[in-house]
């Protein structure tokens, strides 16, 4: 299960929300004209300058630890992910598995990570390594993340909440633990050392695309603060500083890969982040918010009239515009995709993500269970097949227009070609019952005009620099 809306909460005796719905701040007003949300947000690019698009899912095994860690993630996961037309995975790794004792790093765990990366390389899937935590870590009810030896509670209480683990973020002991992680010099050094070890080990692996520094960072709410105020303070004064420390640690061993930074999940309720500048000598920072809505996370259907997506969009674009960094949404997706309005939800959500983002990873690629992309037999759960759409993973040039209409099964890409990447533009077409036909206009050529039924298509287009190119991929109909 995703950490739905891991909001900052108060230390008792403040009035403490007891559910996600109570925790959500009041919805801010929607700006009058949130036109062209992606304007001013740079695209993700590769080292040659091609414009990149990432489409994929999270991989996470939260049920096993120690010698059995990562057992739930198999080669089948990467093979099926790729076969459905995805090229991106966000892999959850846990500090408590990596460093079970201070200074002792598990070689077995590192080899298991590398085995998953080997499968990803085999199936041409880019991977972001996600330092995941839920309710801080195993000191609190057996959750995963930050080791028990790095957990300090000041003796404050922690009470489990069976059936609503989200409420456990509100416990004073959990709040204290986050505060110590940000403020205690020895814990700061330990977290930096962990990232130096992890990035140093994985930097040379061909499947690694980047590092997500911490999943859904939290903080402590002070007396008199509401949730948005607490989020602003923690992001500005504690999380920004943590990110700058961790970027420095990673850049000591890896100057190549992207670094993803997350706001607090309050952004999910339409509250812009107050993260400050993240200094990266390599200039490879990516903003990686999550895309969840409180009521849907507790089982409600999508309500288009709430205009949640519009509020989220208006909030989420501010930081990447100001900092001139690309956006990749690290998690999204409802726990129940079978509800009556979920077809509308996926259409609206995918359109929104395309307006401002360079990529996304759904939660989560597994078999059976509410959040899982697939059922136990490997078939998409209802409506989740809508995420398997044509796209252009890499475009050699400036993209002028890209769109997919699922009603007629037509994907269109228009761009002005450049010499980036040797002039090579790549298309991905998910399996279709009767295959795809591909046509190209302008001084360009494609290496395939037809993709056979039931197969994933990989099509390469080459064009003369400066040429105006149009690509159309159509599902074959009877």
Record the tokens describing residue 205, joined without a space: 């692996």
Pick the closest to residue 441 from 467, 477, 406, 465 (CA basis): 467
pLDDT score, position 36: 54
Helix axes 240-251, 185-202, angle to 10 degrees: 40
CATH number of 9-388: 3.20.20.80
Contact of 72 with 64, CB cutoff 8 Å? yes
pTM of the entire structure?
0.93
pLDDT score, position 16: 42
Q: Which residues of 149-183 are buried (b: 16+ CB within 10 A; e: fewer)?
A: ebbbbeeeebeebeeebbbbbbbbbbbbbbbbbbe
Cα 406 versus chain centre, distance: 24
User: 103 vs 178, 191, 243, 250, CA distance in Å?
Assistant: 20, 11, 21, 17
Q: Is the peptide bond prior to 364 cis by the omega test (within 30 degrees of 0)?
A: yes
Q: Which residues contact 150 (CB under 8 A, 6 or more apart)?
A: 95, 102, 137, 181, 187, 190, 191
Question: What is the full per-residue pLDDT of the chain (478 aa) written as tens digits?
Answer: 443 343 333 333 333 443 344 444 444 433 333 335 678 999 999 999 999 999 999 999 999 999 899 999 999 999 999 999 999 999 999 999 999 999 999 999 999 999 999 999 999 999 999 999 999 999 998 899 999 999 999 999 999 988 777 778 889 999 999 999 999 999 999 999 999 999 999 999 999 999 999 999 989 989 999 889 999 999 999 999 999 999 999 999 999 999 999 999 888 888 999 999 999 999 999 999 999 998 898 899 999 999 999 999 999 999 999 999 999 999 999 999 999 999 999 999 999 999 999 999 999 999 998 899 999 999 999 999 999 999 999 999 999 999 999 999 999 999 999 999 999 999 999 999 999 999 999 999 999 999 999 999 999 999 999 999 999 999 999 8
Record the tokens describing residue 34, joined without a space: 């949130």
CATH architecture of 390-478: Sandwich (2.60)
Classify residue 235 by its DSSP letter.
I
d(CA 294, CA 251): 36
Contact of 436 with 448, CB cutoff 8 Å? no
Q: Where are the beta strands (DSSP E) in 225-332?
A: 258-261, 285-287, 290-291, 328-329, 331-332
Pick the closest to residue 96 from 53, 127, 55, 62 (CA basis): 62
Q: Where are the domains of the chain?
A: 9-388, 390-478
| 66: three-class secondary structure by DSSP | helix
Q: What angle do CA 19, 22, 23 make, to 5 degrees?
A: 85
């Amino acid at each position: 299960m995703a950490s739905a809306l891991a909001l900052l909460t108060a230390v008792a005796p403040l009035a403490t929300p007891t559910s996600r719905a109570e925790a959500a701040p009041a919805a801010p007003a929607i700006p009058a004209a949130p036109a062209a949300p992606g304007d001013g947000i740079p695209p993700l690019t590769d080292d040659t300058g091609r414009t990149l698009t990432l489409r994929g899912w999270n991989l996470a095994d939260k049920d096993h630890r120690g010698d059995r860690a990562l057992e739930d993630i198999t080669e089948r996961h990467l093979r099926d992910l790729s076969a459905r037309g995805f090229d991106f995975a966000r892999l959850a790794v846990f500090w408590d598995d990596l460093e079970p004792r201070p200074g002792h790093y598990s070689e077995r765990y590192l080899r298991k990570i590398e085995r998953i990366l080997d499968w990803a390389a085999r199936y041409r899937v880019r991977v972001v390594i996600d330092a995941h935590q839920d309710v801080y870590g195993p000191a609190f009810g057996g959750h995963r993340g930050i080791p028990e030896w790095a957990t300090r509670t000041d003796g404050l209480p922690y009470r489990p909440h069976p059936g609503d683990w989200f409420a456990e973020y509100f416990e004073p002991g959990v709040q204290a633990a986050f505060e110590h992680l940000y403020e205690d010099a020895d814990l700061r050094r330990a977290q930096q050392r962990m990232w130096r070890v992890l990035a140093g080990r994985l930097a040379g692996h061909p499947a690694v695309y980047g590092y997500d520094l911490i999943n859904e960072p939290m903080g402590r709410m002070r007396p008199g603060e509401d949730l948005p105020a607490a989020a602003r303070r923690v992001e500005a004064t504690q999380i920004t500083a943590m990110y700058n420390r961790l970027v420095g640690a990673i850049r000591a061993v890896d100057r190549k890969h992207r670094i993803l930074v997350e706001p607090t999940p309050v952004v999910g309720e339409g509250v812009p982040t107050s993260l400050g500048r993240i200094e990266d000598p390599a200039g490879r920072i990516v903003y990686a918010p999550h895309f969840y809505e409180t009521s849907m996370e507790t089982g409600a259907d999508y309500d288009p009239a709430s205009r949640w997506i519009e509020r989220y969009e208006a909030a989420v674009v501010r930081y990447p515009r100001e900092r001139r960094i690309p956006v990749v949404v690290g998690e999204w997706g409802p726990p129940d995709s079978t509800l009556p309005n979920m077809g509308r939800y996926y259409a609206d959500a995918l359109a929104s993500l395309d307006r401002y983002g360079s990529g996304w990873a759904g939660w989560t690629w597994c078999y059976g269970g509410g959040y899982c992309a697939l059922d136990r037999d490997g078939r998409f759960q209802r409506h989740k097949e809508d995420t398997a759409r044509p796209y252009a993973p890499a475009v050699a040039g400036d993209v002028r227009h890209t769109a997919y209409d699922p009603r007629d099964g037509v994907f269109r890409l228009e761009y002005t070609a450049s010499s980036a990447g040797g002039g090579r533009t790549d298309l991905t077409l998910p399996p279709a019952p009767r295959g795809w036909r591909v046509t190209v206009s302008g001084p360009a050529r494609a290496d395939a005009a037809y993709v056979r039924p039931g197969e994933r298509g990989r099509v390469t287009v080459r064009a003369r620099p400066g040429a105006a190119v149009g690509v159309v991929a159509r599902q074959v109909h009877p």
